[in-house]
């Protein structure tokens, strides 16, 4: 399958592609490693959707854990500076205040992923003979449907734990979840219970397609859990706010 997707004429080392997405790297190195795979000789077609799935796999584990540092840092800013909550006496509802905070953090953390995805999309569009034109846009809808639910969960859980404890306990908790999420096979990944869905190979489309229902259910459950933790964080914030 890998040879059918890439072929020997591709200006990229097939040996490296075998390990692509499986060796843990920071996102910028993934992107630098990833983009040259789109440059192929004339007449060789490479399915962009296959690379888009690996793109989401590489960013998925980063989205689950590393973003929690920024979330906790943002939420505990007032405590670190020994300041009172500026919204305690606000006329706005607790739901509106927390919604604005959650939206701001989500946009801040998801925009870089979209920028990287758009960069990969443009690389494919500018490269000749790289597959079906419609499959290029997998770089746009895969991150939204694949990665955004994980990020929403991370944001909501970070808010819930931080407001509940007033301590940065969300970091070790998310670290445990991150370690559990990394458990996957080299071939097809994990579409069932993983917080960050894994697909660590350019091949394995058949397994991906067969598990598509599980993947969709996984994303729905993760999104619902994110909404639950967000609701609980609003309730906790409201109780603390009413005491001031």
Give helix then strand counts, H and E, for the chain: 12, 0
List pLDDT tens digits, range 129-168: 555 667 778 889 999 999 999 999 999 999 999 988 888 8
**First-to-final CA distance of the chain:** 62
Angle, alpha carbons 240-241-244 (nearest 5°):
95
Rounded Cα gap, residues 222 and 196, in angstroms:
10
Average pLDDT over residues 55-75: 83
Rounded Cα gap, residues 171 and 75, in angstroms:
12
Percent of the chain with pLDDT over 90: 21
List pLDDT tens digits, range 205-243: 777 888 888 889 989 999 999 999 999 999 998 888 777
Task: Give the number of other Cβ atoms within 10 Å of residue 15's Cβ.
Answer: 7
pTM of whole model > 0.85? no
């Amino acid at each position: 399958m890998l040879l059918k997707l890439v072929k020997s004429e591709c200006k990229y080392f097939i040996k490296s592609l075998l390990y692509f997405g499986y060796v843990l790297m920071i996102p910028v190195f993934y992107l630098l490693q990833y983009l040259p795979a789109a440059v192929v000789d004339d007449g060789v077609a490479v399915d962009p959707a296959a690379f888009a799935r690996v793109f989401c796999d590489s960013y998925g584990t980063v989205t689950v854990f590393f973003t929690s540092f920024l979330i906790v840092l943002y939420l505990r800013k007032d405590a670190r500076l020994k300041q009172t909550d500026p919204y305690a006496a606000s006329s706005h509802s607790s739901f509106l205040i927390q919604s604005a905070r959650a939206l701001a953090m989500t946009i801040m953390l998801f925009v870089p992923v979209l920028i990287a995805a758009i960069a990969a999309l443009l690389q494919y569009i500018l490269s000749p003979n790289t597959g079906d034109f419609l499959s290029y846009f997998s770089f746009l809808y895969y991150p939204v449907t694949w990665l955004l639910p994980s990020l929403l969960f991370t944001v909501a859980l970070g808010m819930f734990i931080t407001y509940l404890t007033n301590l940065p306990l969300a970091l070790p908790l998310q670290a445990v979840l991150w370690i559990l999420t990394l458990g996957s096979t080299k071939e097809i990944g994990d579409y069932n219970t993983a917080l960050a869905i894994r697909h660590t190979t350019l091949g394995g489309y058949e397994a991906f397609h067969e598990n598509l229902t599980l993947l969709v259910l996984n994303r729905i459950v993760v999104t619902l859990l994110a909404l639950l933790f967000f609701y609980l964080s609003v309730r906790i914030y409201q109780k603390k706010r009413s005491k001031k």
